[in-house]
Amino acid sequence: MPLNENKSHGVPKSHPRFSSLKYRHKIIEGMKNLVVAEAGLIAHGRGECFDYIIGEKTIKTAKNAINAAVAVLLTAKRPVISVNGNVAALVPNELVALSKLLNIPLEINLFYSKEGRIKAITEVLKNAGATDIKGTNEDMMTELTGLESNRRKVDFIAKADVVMVPLEDGDRTETLKKLGKMVIAVDLNPISRTALWADITIVDNIIRVIPEMIETAKQFKKLNKKELIEIVNNFNNKLNIQKTLDLIIDYITKQKEEAFKILE
Ligand code: PTJ
């Protein structure tokens, strides 16, 4: 048997936290080769913490939001998926598969600018099979008014009607909304500014969201425009976030009851 067949980064596959540790290492590797910003490690840790309190699974409200998001992306005129370092490190293949399935461009948009990062992320996406990557040529970029961070520099996003923003910081979502764009957010924190500002908030881990969106897109591609619009119209983001918080409270209450049983 080849050495390490049952291990990844020294972690045995039988380890109860194997999956979580595998994604941690993807983030660490990503940071070493410039894909992930240093602060991306901290953001990942924050995400892990929120993932715990939803039970590390796709909860019903996330599935509702995913359905609405896919329906919107299938009916939008000029949709785009924004890509940052964490997302590129965690789910490059899945992201490219989704972009191809929906025929939507990926645009690299970074909060932390650093020499070589755009090139490194472009490489990762190209290796995953991406052919349509925006945000790589400064000369093609314009600036979003009302935004001071590095995220103000955009390419296709400037003309987009729908922008999907996974793992975002609040400022740009607010700006995109003020510019009349529809925003789909993926954020494990249900009460972050991004989550509250977005039109559709998917409270789930990006590692589960993109594969789930791919499966949903395969099904929804068989629906007609009227049926897709109905799915969007039946979705209420505010209510969905409220229900997400209720599910978190229920889960924590249950965990509180369960917590000490193993010690008895
Ligand atoms: O690559 P860059 O330079 O564009 O920077 C990317 C980060 C993520 C570092 C930057 O956007 C940032 O600092 O983001 P924040 O403000 O930390 O917000 C990230 C949000 O994503 C937080 O609410 C986290 O809880 C959430 N989050 C972290 N990991 C995941 C996640 N949400 C979904 N899936 C995750 N795996």
Q: How far is the CA of 2 from the centre of ligand 1 (A)?
A: 36
Q: Are the C-beta atoms of residues 231 and 217 closer than 8 Å to each other? A: no
What is the reported pLDDT for 13?
A: 78
More confident residue, 244 or 260: 244
The protein residue whose alpha carbon is closest to atom 34 in ligand 1 is 205
Residue 10 reports pLDDT greater than 90? no
Residues 229-247 as b or e (16 or more Cβ within 10 Å = b): eebbeebebeebbebbeeb
CA distance 172 to 199: 13
The protein residue whose alpha carbon is closest to atom 23 in ligand 1 is 189
**Which of these ranges, 14-23, 82-91, 207-216, 222-231, has the smallest mean pLDDT?**
14-23
Six-digit token string for 222: 């068989």
Nearest 5°: the CA angle 229, 230, 236 is 100
Mean pLDDT of 86-107: 98
Ligand 1 probe mutation, 50, 86, 114, 165, most atoms within 8 A of CB: 86
CA distance 166 to 66: 12
Q: Taking the C-alpha atoms of 30, 36, 42 and 47 in order, what is their torsion angle to the nearest 10 degrees?
A: -80
β strands within the chain, DSSP E: 7-8, 11-12, 79-83, 106-108, 133-134, 142-143, 153-154, 162-166, 182-186, 200-202
pTM for this predicted structure: 0.94
Instruction: Using the atom order of ligand 1, give the atom closest to the CA of residue 23.
Output: 36
More confident residue, 66 or 5: 66
Q: Are the C-beta atoms of residues 185 and 159 closer than 8 Å to each other? A: no
What is the DSSP pairing of strand 142-143 with strand 153-154? antiparallel
Mean pLDDT of 1-28: 74
DSSP 20: H
Instruction: Using the atom order of ligand 1, give the atom closest to the CA of residue 90.
Output: 36
Residue 165 reports pLDDT greater than 80? yes
Q: Tokens 């494990």 belong to which residue?
A: 188
Chain center to CA of 5? 30
Residue type at 30?
G
Q: Are the C-beta atoms of residues 96 and 132 closer than 8 Å to each other? A: no
Tens-digit pLDDT profile for residues 200-255:
999 999 999 999 999 999 999 999 999 999 999 999 999 999 999 999 999 999 99
Q: Are the C-beta atoms of residues 79 and 101 closer than 8 Å to each other? A: no
